[in-house]
């Protein structure tokens, strides 16, 4: 049975799908399953394997789904009492500890823009475990020679590609294109989507101009609350290499659940009514 679970874990990681692995790590007395029994729980409710059935497995199932969302492991203890035996029909009288471990694939990082910052970010992000995708409309910049470790290199009109692209919700997306227009169109396409991280490069003045233009086009200002802009942690970065480090630091912070709010809180200008 565990062989089936291990195969399902490998398949989930290959597909980029999150799940939670439930394992019996301690058992005393009479229990339905022995130490090492495993169950894999997916966010949509699918299950592979079993830790013995009954109400305790159902409880572990729901806690596993919550662990996927919270991205935190859990250690649970179940007392298999006479009441439990009567309810389930199982003859039990022991204790069981169950460990729930969220399983996450390598984080997918989409770098929109293959210029200097994108180049340096791709290199160092790959070294810390991000699966890097690079998109740009210039083959001169977006190519395998410059990005030898990228999982994917897209050479296409950026707005057109984003309109077709199906980015998974656990994706990290960094907008670092060469110009205001591409940044604006990329943010227009990405701000409404569910993403783990979305960052936009540029000064506060530039970001404000982009936000103004998008709200004038009827985009809700609430969508900008999730955008990290200006992008990266404030470490005084100046060069493209330093900016890439500041962006990666922010990505790592988000990955490990260290809360860091979007750097720029923006409010649309208020209308002034003449009397």
Q: What is the Cα–Cα distance from 261 to 247, expressed in whole angstroms?
A: 14
Q: Beta strands 172-175 and 197-200: pairing type?
A: parallel
Give the confidence band of 38 by pLDDT, cuts at 50, 70, 90: very high
The mean-pLDDT minimum among 17-21, 29-33, 271-275 falls in: 271-275
Q: Which is it for the CA torsion 166, 170, 176, 180, positive or negative? A: positive
DSSP 89-122: ------EEEEEEEEE-PPPEEEEE--SHHHHHHH
Q: Does 117 have pLDDT greater than 70? A: yes
* Residue with the two structure tokens 């990505």: 251
Q: Does 275 have pLDDT greater than 50? A: no
* Percentage of the chain lying above the pLDDT 90 cut: 62
Contact predicate 223/198, CB 8 Å: no
Q: Does 154 have pLDDT greater than 80? A: yes
Q: Does 91 have pLDDT greater than 50? A: no
Q: Does 83 have pLDDT greater than 90? A: no
Q: What is the Cα–Cα distance from 175 to 193, expressed in whole angstroms?
A: 14
Q: Does 28 have pLDDT greater than 80? A: yes
pLDDT of residue 49: 92
Structure confidence by residue, pLDDT tens digits, 177-226: 998 899 999 999 999 999 999 999 998 999 999 999 999 988 998 899 89
| Domain chopping of the chain, boundaries | 2-103, 108-255
* Vertex 156: Cα angle to 184 and 218 (nearest 5): 25
- Comparing 274 with 79, which gets the higher pLDDT? 79
Q: What is the Cα–Cα distance from 38 to 52, expressed in whole angstroms?
A: 9
State mean pLDDT over 128-143.
96
Q: Does 273 have pLDDT greater than 50? A: no
pLDDT of residue 271: 36
Mean per-residue pLDDT of the chain: 87
Query: What would the two tokens of residue 259 be?
Result: 């809360």
- Comparing 111 with 17, which gets the higher pLDDT? 111
Burial 207-232 (b: 16+ CB within 10 A, else e): beebbeebbeeebeeebbeebbbbbb
Give the confidence band of 14 by pLDDT, cuts at 50, 70, 90: confident
pLDDT of residue 248: 97
Contact predicate 8/41, CB 8 Å: no
Give the confidence band of 12 by pLDDT, cuts at 50, 70, 90: confident
pLDDT of residue 22: 95
Select 108-255's CATH number: 3.50.50.60, 3.40.50.620, 3.30.450.20, 3.40.50.720: 3.40.50.720
pLDDT of residue 89: 47
- Comparing 92 with 126, which gets the higher pLDDT? 126
């Amino acid at each position: 049975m565990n062989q089936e679970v291990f195969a399902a874990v490998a398949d989930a990681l290959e597909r980029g799908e999150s799940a939670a692995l439930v394992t019996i790590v301690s058992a005393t007395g009479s229990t339905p399953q022995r130490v090492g029994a495993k169950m894999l729980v997916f966010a949509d409710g699918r299950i592979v394997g079993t830790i013995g059935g009954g109400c305790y497995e159902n409880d572990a199932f729901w806690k596993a789904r919550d662990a996927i969302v919270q991205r935190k492991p859990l250690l649970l203890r179940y007392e298999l009492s006479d009441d439990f035996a009567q309810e389930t029909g199982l003859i039990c009288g022991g204790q069981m500890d169950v460990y729930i471990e969220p399983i996450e694939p390598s984080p997918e990082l989409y770098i929109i823009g293959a210029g200097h910052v994108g180049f340096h970010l791709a290199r160092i992000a790959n070294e810390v475990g991000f699966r890097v995708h690079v998109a740009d409309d210039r083959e001169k910049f977006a190519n395998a020679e410059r990005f030898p470790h990228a999982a994917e290199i897209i050479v296409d009109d950026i707005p057109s590609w984003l309109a077709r692209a199906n980015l998974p919700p656990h994706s990290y997306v960094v907008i670092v294109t060469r110009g205001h227009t591409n940044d604006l169109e990329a943010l227009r396409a990405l701000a409404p989507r569910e993403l783990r991280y979305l960052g936009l490069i540029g000064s506060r003045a530039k970001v404000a101009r982009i936000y103004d233009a998008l709200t004038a086009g009827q985009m809700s200002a609430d969508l900008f609350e999730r955008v990290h802009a200006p992008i990266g942690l404030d470490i005084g970065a100046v060069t493209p290499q330093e900016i890439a480090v500041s962006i990666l630091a922010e990505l790592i912070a988000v990955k490990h659940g260290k809360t860091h709010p979007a750097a720029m809180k923006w409010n649309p200008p208020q209308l002034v009514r003449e009397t």
